[in-house]
Amino acid sequence: MKKSIFITLFSVGLTGAFAQEVQDLEVQYNPNSLNPIPVYEQHYKVRVWRNIDLREKQNKGFFAKNGEISKLIVDAVKSGELTDIYNSDSLTTKLSKEDFLGRLVQEQAQTFPAWNPTTDFYTDDIVSFNGKNYRAVQDSKGITPSEDATDYWAATNQGSGLEYAVGDMSSIHMMEDMIFDRRRSRLYYDIQAFEIIVPGAKTTTGIDNSLGWFKYKDLEKLFRNNIPKAVWFNRQNTAQNKNFADAFLLRLFQGSIYKVQNPDDETIDDTYRGNGRPYREGVWAREWTEMMLMEKEHNLWEF
């Protein structure tokens, strides 16, 4: 009887230990990491945000003509291949496909009333449409439609409007973790997410327009599944063109740090502006932060 009780208690203990181990594994690994490093193996970790200007020479491989990374991502959302879009870098609140497409609109389409032959009339102005010239028409309210009609103007809805051109989506914000693995004595760059940005110079408001955040884990899969399209262009040797995923793995980009994880969740520029410093000092601080992190990496090799 005592032996039976002992075996039962021992088996219950094993079950509890196994459940605890499974629970610990779920806590110890970052679900957004492509190759997660357990927390107990992390000797040092810092989260940084970088701005990748795709128009820069070093980043042009990701922004080659008809092979833009932003175009690939937007097309994947439209086709339904990429479904998870997030509102912020917390990667918790999702955006709907409709909201994402709404953010793509640069200028809303106009709505014109139906043609009224008694009040609306042709003008002597000439307008071009689809490579042809037409006499312009004007209604009683002074609205001049942009397309020709020989008999009547049909009422049009607002539609999707004019979308941003691919060349306008020329900036990427990258969020990544710098982790020093104590077991392998090596620093890893663990990319977490991307944000597609339309710079303020291309928007009507003059403010950067965020199209949405995407988990890099999802984007890496997209890149691998679209090998003919997801090509990093090597201007020096096209025989060595690479997949976008490999190019990011090899760090073939240049991205300036604009934020390091901090209690106030401030960007580097915000911190300097809050202290009344001139803008140029914020620019210097971004470079200084980069140098500090490089020095930290160098010193970690002694660990």
**pLDDT of residue 271 exceeding 90:** no
pLDDT at 128: 65
- Tell me what pLDDT residue 12 has: 47
Cα distance between residue 133 and residue 272, in whole Å: 55
What pLDDT was estimated at residue 62? 97
Rounded Cα–Cα distance for residues 153 and 267 (Å): 52
Token couple for 36: 């997660």
pLDDT score, position 148: 44
SS3 36: coil
In the structure, what pLDDT confidence band is assigned to residue 152 with cuts at 50, 70 and 90?
very low
d(CA 162, CA 140): 26
pLDDT band of residue 154 (cuts 50, 70, 90) is very low
Q: What is the C-alpha separation between 189 and 175, in angstroms, rounded?
A: 10
pLDDT by residue (tens digit) across 35-57?
999 999 999 999 999 999 999 99
In the predicted structure, residue 117 carries a pLDDT above the cut 80: no
pLDDT exceeding 90 applies to what percent of the chain?
Answer: 57
- pLDDT for position 135: 58
Contact 134, 110 (CB under 8 A): no
| pLDDT range class, residue 150, cuts 50, 70, 90 | very low
What confidence score (pLDDT) does residue 153 get? 41
**45: Cβ contacts below 8 Å, ≥ 6 apart:** 177, 178, 179, 180
The pLDDT mean for the chain works out to 82
The confidence band for 279, taking pLDDT boundaries of 50, 70 and 90, is low
Whether pLDDT at 222 is above 90: yes
Q: Is the pLDDT of residue 283 over 60?
A: yes
Q: How confident is the model at residue 267 (pLDDT cuts 50, 70, 90)?
A: very high
Among all chains, which residue has been given the structure tokens 């181990």? 21
Q: Is the pLDDT of residue 6 over 70?
A: no
- Of 80 and 151, the structure prediction assigns the larger pLDDT to 80
Residue 242, burial from CB neighbour count under 10 angstroms (0-12, 13-18, 19+):
middle
Q: Grade residue 19 by pLDDT with cuts at 50, 70 and 90.
A: very low
> Of 70-79, 149-158, 171-180, 260-269, which gets the smallest average pLDDT?
149-158
Q: What confidence score (pLDDT) does residue 141 get? A: 54
For the cut 70, the answer to whether the pLDDT of residue 2 exceeds it is: no
Of 23-32, 256-265, 278-287, the range with the highest mean pLDDT is: 256-265
Q: What is the dihedral of CA 200, 255, 274, 198, to 10 degrees?
A: 10
How does 144-167 read in b/e, with b if 16+ C-beta sit within 10 Å?
A: ebeebeeeebeeeeeeeeeebebe
Q: Which residues pair with 257 in a beta bridge?
A: 50
Q: For residues 197-217, give the mean pLDDT.
A: 93
